[in-house]
Amino acid sequence: MIRRLLAIWHARNLEFLRDRGARVFSLLLPLALVVGMSFVFGGPERAIFKVAVLTDDLASVRHPFMTERFVDFVPVDDLAAASRKVARHQFDLLIDFAPRATRYWVNEDSPKGYVAERLLLQSEPAAQRQPVSGQAIRYVDWLFPGILGMNMMFNCLFGVGYVVLRYRKNGFLKRLNATPVSAFEFLAAQVLSRLALILAVTTILYVGVGLAIGFHSAGNPALLLLLAAAGSLALIALGLTIAARFSSDELVGGILNTLTWPMMLLSGVWFSLEGSPDWIRYVAQVFPLTHILDAARAVMIDGAGAAAIAPHLAYLAVTTLAFLAFGAWSFKWRSD
């Protein structure tokens, strides 16, 4: 028994070592994640609180609160837009250091906003409190679209990628190649099948969570369904471009992980990138998930209409067509 076990163990080791793509991603993926996270989250100690200050020149503001450590002060010039970000937990506090009296806006359901408010009142007890207008947005209301989007991302990328990979490895694609079916037709069928499944699962989660715990949703559900469809198509098409050609489990898994981790960390699933370095926000705008979440939160939290999220929908449509075209062009029926 030991000899048989060792023979299989030896054969599996050789299979892995002979797979160049698997070797590369096994070594480079952890290294790339460490290096990438060191750029994003490294450097000096990061701020705990994110406070918006109503001013054109942050350096000109002279106030004791501005000397607090671990507070990231962000200058803003649009009171209405900044107060909406306070409601959406993108800012913990919004302050107007007016000459006559300091005013500040806080979301009463924000734990970090509560602590930041205590710090401000220690330096100026007479500051005038302005709770955010309208219904305060809980963190769960802000987080819920991110959870749905992350679930869509994993189902779209891994669900499609590994299915096509399995078809190629077990010879199904080789047999299908003998039929009149084209690569584009095969890929389109995979996209539509996965799209129906993702929309069904997302709808069930949306309704189920709404009935179980409730969440804030001010927008049109039909518009959210359209956004879910556009976002799912973009993510499915992205997954197909990976599975269209490769036949190694380790290689496909490595590439998919290389795509999902940056999207999960930089697309705003768990926290807002407001106040982050400009280059990080520019990189985040490349990811389809960023546009899905920005548009979903605009609809659900702010009640935005189709015109407001049209740029996000257009970006998702363009990326879907580009990924499908590239996937159909690079598609390989056989594993050899």
Tens digit of pLDDT per residue, the chain (336 long)? 666 556 655 555 565 556 555 555 555 555 555 555 555 555 556 677 889 998 888 888 888 888 888 888 888 888 888 888 888 777 889 999 888 888 999 988 788 888 989 989 988 888 888 887 655 667 777 788 888 888 888 888 887 777 777 777 777 777 777 777 777 777 777 778 888 888 888 888 888 877 777 676 777 888 889 999 999 999 888 888 877 766 666 677 777 777 887 888 888 787 777 666 778 788 888 899 999 999 988 888 878 888 889 999 999 999 998 888 887 777 766 655
Query: How far is it, in rounded angstroms, from Cα 186 to Cα 173?
Result: 9
Between CA 95 and CA 294 the distance in angstroms is: 25
Q: How far is CA 336 from CA 168, 179, 285, in A?
A: 10, 19, 37
Half-sphere exposure of 31 (CA within 13 A, CB side): 6
Pairing of strands 93-97, 102-106: antiparallel
The amino acid at residue 225 is L
> What is the Cα–Cα distance from 220 to 296, expressed in whole angstroms?
11
What is the token pair recorded at 45?
């100690």
| Spacing of C-alpha 125 from chain mean position | 39
Contact of 119 with 48, CB cutoff 8 Å: no
Say whether 272 sits in a helix, a strand or coil: coil
Structure tokens at 296: 């979903």
Give this prediction's pTM.
Answer: 0.67
